[in-house]
């Protein structure tokens, strides 16, 4: 009887360890998929440094495409711009979206004083985004 109890306890422990390991791996993977290096602090707009804001929705393909585009350009322009994310599924992001009459997958460029300089809507047009970043970085 003791051997049967020990076998059940061992199996239960193994199943628990496998489950915890699986959950840990899933959480790690989900965490690693989050955009890196983007602040959501929209109060930085108008604080003396130009800002690029992506209106982001993780469930929107266009938004993910635009995020990828910004990722490819961010290193080149990070000396001139702060890059921010406005998650349209949060209260702050939804408020920002209403305030500027925008939608997910759009990019807004603001001057150092907080003036809206540009709006880029087409996530397939890397030239338009590059041109906007270049023209406002002078």
CATH architecture for the domain at 42-136: 3-Layer(aba) Sandwich (3.40)
How many beta carbons lie within 10 A of that of residue 79, not counting itself? 7
Q: Is the pTM of this model over 0.75?
A: no
Q: In Å, how far from its chain's centre is CA 93?
A: 12
Span 114-136, pLDDT tens digits: 999 999 987 777 888 999 999 99
Instruction: Compute the distance between CA of residue 87 and CA of residue 29 in angstroms, rounded to an integer.
Output: 20
Span 10-38, pLDDT tens digits: 788 888 888 888 888 877 766 666 556 78
Q: In Å, how far from its chain's centre is CA 68?
A: 10
- Dihedrals phi, psi of 129, to nearest 5 degrees: -65, -45
State the chain's mean pLDDT as an integer: 87
Report the range of poorest mean pLDDT among 5-9, 14-18, 22-26, 62-66.
5-9
């Amino acid at each position: 009887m003791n051997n049967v109890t020990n076998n059940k306890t061992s199996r239960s422990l193994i199943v628990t360890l496998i489950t915890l390991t699986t959950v840990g791996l899933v959480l790690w993977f989900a965490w690693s998929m989050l955009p890196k290096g983007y602040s959501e602090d929209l109060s930085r707009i108008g604080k003396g440094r130009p800002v690029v804001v992506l209106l982001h929705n993780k469930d929107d393909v266009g938004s993910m495409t635009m995020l990828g585009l910004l990722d490819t350009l961010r290193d080149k322009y990070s000396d001139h711009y702060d890059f921010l994310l406005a998650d349209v599924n949060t209260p702050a992001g939804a408020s920002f979206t209403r305030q500027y009459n925008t939608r997910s997958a759009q990019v807004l460029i603001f001057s150092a004083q907080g003036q809206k300089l540009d709006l880029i809507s087409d996530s397939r047009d890397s030239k338009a985004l590059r041109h906007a970043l270049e023209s406002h970085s002078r």
